[in-house]
Structures are given as C-alpha cells and as structure tokens.
Amino acid sequence: MSDTIKAPTVAELQAKGETPEILFWVGCAGSFDDRYKRVTVAFTKILNKLNVNFAVLGPEESCTGDPARRAGNEFLFQMQAMANIQLLDMYQVKKIVTACPHCFNTLKNEYPDLGGNYEVIHHTTFLQGLLDDGKLKVSGGSFKGQKITYHDSCYLGRANDIYEAPRNVLKSLDADLVEMKRCKTKGLCCGAGGGQMFKDAEAGDKEINIERTEEALDTGAKVIASGCPFCMTMLSDGVKNKEKEAEVQVKDIAELLDEAMD
C-alpha cells in the first residue's frame, strides 16, 4: 500500500482520545483475498480524498460468522458474533460501513438478535449519499459512454432491497448502464451464496456462475460491475472460463469510482 493511504485503527484513535465517525468493516475477503484487497484500497482512497473520519479494527477484526451460519454451524456463528459484539460495544461503535453484502446483512439483520445494534451501511449506499450531498463529485472520465452492466448481489438486492444505490453511483460516471435480462428483484445468484462458495459443486448441467456470466456478456458490456466479493470471484471465474479476460473487466463500484476520480 502506498504512503498516501491512511487507515487508522480504532485502537490508535482511542489512544489519542479520538473517536471515528465511521467504522469501515473490511471483512475477510477485503483483508485476505488478493483481488478484493484492491477494492479495500480503492474505497479507502475515496474516504481519504474526502477526509471522511473513519477507522478500521485492523487485527482485532474477525469474521462476522456469516459463512458458519449459512453452512449450518450455528454454534460457531454465535461464538464469532458475540466476540465481535463485545469488541464493537467496547469501542462504542455506532456506524459501520462495509463493502461486503454478506457482512452487511449479518451485522445489520442478525446481530440485533444477539444484542448488537448498529447503523450498518453498504459501501454503495454510502457512496450514493456522498454524491447526493455534493461531497463526492465525479465526471465520467474513462467510463464516459462505456457500456457497463451491474450484477445484483442476492444479499444486497433481494435480501435488503438495495437496487438503486449501486446503479446511481454507476450513472454518475456518465456510463451507458445496460441491464441483464434477469436483474433487480429477478436477478440471478452468482452461485456463491448460502455457503456454496466453500463447497464442491453439485451435480447438474451448468455452473450458475457460467450462466450468469453469459447473461452479462450478452449485454455487450466491457465492464461487469459488482458490489460483493463473492460475486466478483464467481463472475471473474466465469469471464476466464469464456476466455474473455482481455476484453471484459469485472470491477467493484468503488474501483470504478476511484479510477474516475483519478
């Protein structure tokens, strides 16, 4: 990471008697997956450019427990969740922003059952808010007029009814937003949700991510935009399977915005 990127930890700020306005929950993919680390950097660069008062948990951050619960290990989920809630409450965290819809859904909808109540925002909604407030200004740059299609993450779309924020951010790039046949409430899963990311494929004629990639390629878009690490992995694998990596890019919305701002 270059010297220009600043991501203080909550512990560092507290040691100085400061409290961040926002906790950026990085998530397992944003921390450990080489491809998704680039999304973490892009989003952090945007926060830095706009002087947003934020911090991360750093080495104190743990998995939300989403994969454990989806895979049926409720005991492990509750153990992970309770440890996180204790930490978040110790730091008096009120507002959380995350670039992972799985983390978002778990923190927002499942932690309250265990006593963890926070304002949780997906990064696309947060970015739209910055655009609406006039704090974030972009002109299309290299994306002006370019065909972009957006894939709805199940945990963002159908599970939490967030469809417009990601699209509004993409429209701010002056891009030509083209929709897949199955989108919004009828969107097709990338094939990784519900713990499927971590298990072998079941018998069938075709992988779901290949089916979804075909729908994305049919739009003629040169960029497939996503807002989820699981979706990004599945769609990237689909593009590779079709041998289209040289022509079609799979990018997170934060990456596209960061590039446009540069």
Question: pLDDT tens-digit profile of 43-88?
Answer: 999 999 999 999 999 999 999 999 999 999 999 999 999 999 999 9
Q: Give the distance, in angstroms, between the CA of residue 196 and the centroid of all CA atoms in the same chain.
A: 18
Percent of the chain with pLDDT over 70: 98
pLDDT reported for residue 3: 56
Alpha helices per DSSP H over the chain: 10-15, 27-32, 34-49, 66-70, 74-90, 101-105, 123-132, 164-171, 208-218, 229-241, 253-261
Q: Which amino acid is at 12?
A: E
Angle between helices 229-241 and 34-49 (to 10 degrees): 130
pLDDT reported for residue 1: 42
Burial (0-12, 13-18, 19+ Cβ within 10 Å), 193: buried
Contact of 232 with 252, CB cutoff 8 Å: yes
From the list 28, 38, 101, 32, the residue with the least C-alpha distance to 61 is: 28
Beta strands of 139-235 (E only): which ranges?
147-150, 176-177, 223-226
Q: Residue 173 above 60 pLDDT? A: yes
From the list 70, 68, 123, the residue with the least C-alpha distance to 99 is: 123
Q: Residue 178 above 60 pLDDT? A: yes
Cα–Cα–Cα angle for 89, 91, 93, nearest 5°?
Answer: 70
Residue 2 confidence class, pLDDT cut points 50, 70, 90: very low
Q: Residue 139 above 90 pLDDT? A: no
pLDDT reported for residue 159: 95
**Secondary element (H or E) of residue 249:** strand 249-252
Can you tell me the distance from the alpha carbon of 97 to that of 123, in angstroms, rounded to the nearest whole number? 6
More confident residue, 124 or 1: 124
Can you tell me the distance from the alpha carbon of 244 to that of 208, in angstroms, rounded to the nearest whole number? 18
Q: What are the helix and strand counts (H, E) for the chain?
A: 11, 8
CA distances from 86 to 73, 81, 92, 107, 172 (A): 20, 9, 10, 13, 39
Burial (0-12, 13-18, 19+ Cβ within 10 Å), 27: buried
